Amino acid sequence: MPDLSKITCIEDLRVIAQSRVPRMFYDYADSGAWTEGTYRANEADFQKIKLRQRVAVNMEGRSTRTTMVGEEVAMPVAIAPTGLTGMQHADGEILGARAAKAFGIPFTLSTMSICSLEDIAENTDRHPFWFQLYVMRDRDFIERLIERARAANVSALQLTLDLQILGQRHKDIKNGLTAPPKPTLRNLINLAGKPRWCLGMLGTKRRSFGNIVGHAKGVGDLSSLSSWTAEQFDPALSWADVEWIKKLWGGKLILKGILDVEDARLAASSGADALIVSNHGGRQLDGAPSSIEALPAIAEAVGTEIEVWMDGGIRSGQDVLKARALGARGTLIGRSFLYGLGAFGEAGVTRALQILQKELDITMAFCGRTQIDQVDSSILLPGTF
């Protein structure tokens, strides 16, 4: 295990990941749609919120432990579903799931992952994890995917609602994003400077979309995958599909991609167990509000009808605390996790989680709280949120 004690913040991991991950995959993770205004706002809007420092308060016996959809978690943080994670680092989803299991937080596998549902189950001794589902036109494939999730011991299903069509991300187009990379001169020159990444990829068989290739009709290899995905995301997705999936799955259901109060009320009435206030990391509708800006009104609108979580822009434990104060029972991290993975593999993910928990714990104490479940908006400075 490398000594990562001098890695003190998520930004340290980001800088190292940028130097080690091939450009097309680093840019895929660290970019937003169009002008990237919403992507930047996700981070920047956290900084506007100020905390109230309290003193002469007994700070002993602190705990960040809580629950998310009834599952015990070491802190109110889960690893978000991120596509192409296994291209940030060889076997990336497996490494992330292992780190999450050891730390005591949930890991969410994306439909568009490199490692498959079965890979995660096999390499974590069938430890429960979450699975994120996209609604495809091929409903038979969706039914089989849900059955595979059940067989892999998935304990909650995350249904993503904000990717019926794909937002335009300029960097992906310019980089000619593919998995694995196409052997163009530009890509080969870039890969030559990433020996750690290349060695890792040479040592794994997982270089494609493990949940799709060999499972979806007509998709036996990478050459047929791109045309399949272009045709399969369903623009006709509706609340009737949410009800169909809820009945088909039968377990805990989380709805991801809620950014509007009206949609939040519909999510609450759907019978789902949780909703995630999310703008897809600023990767879909550019010009939409940041997740933290949208959170308070949504939390107020649905009250205790449904658990409210959020993702987008979380780069510190302070961000987690602020989200909790504004009504989020839980949070999800995508880029903060990917930076750690790209920088140091499993050890980097563990270090990212350690950083977030320490920042959360210390900041909570400075705000006069010892239990995360005691945190509410009274820890925030009025007028800054």
**Strand order from edge to edge, sheet including 330-333:** 77-79, 330-333, 307-311, 274-277, 252-258, 154-160, 129-133, 108-109
Return d(Cα 332, Cα 149) in angstroms, integer. Answer: 20
Give helix 239-249 / helix 139-151 axis angle, nearest 10°.
40
Residue 78 φ/ψ, nearest 5 degrees: -125, 155
Return d(Cα 137, Cα 128) in angstroms, integer. Answer: 28
Sole residue written with tokens 């890969």: 191
Return d(Cα 246, Cα 327) in angstroms, integer. Answer: 25
**DSSP class of residue 371?**
B
| b/e map 23-60, b = 16+ CB within 10 Å | bbbbbbbbbbbbebbbbebbbebbeebebeeeeeeebe
The residue from 127, 170, 215, 280 that is catalytic is 280
**DSSP class of residue 49?**
-
215 has catalytic annotation: no
Instruction: Pull the structure tokens for residue 83.
Output: 């596509």
Hey, which residues are catalytic here? 280
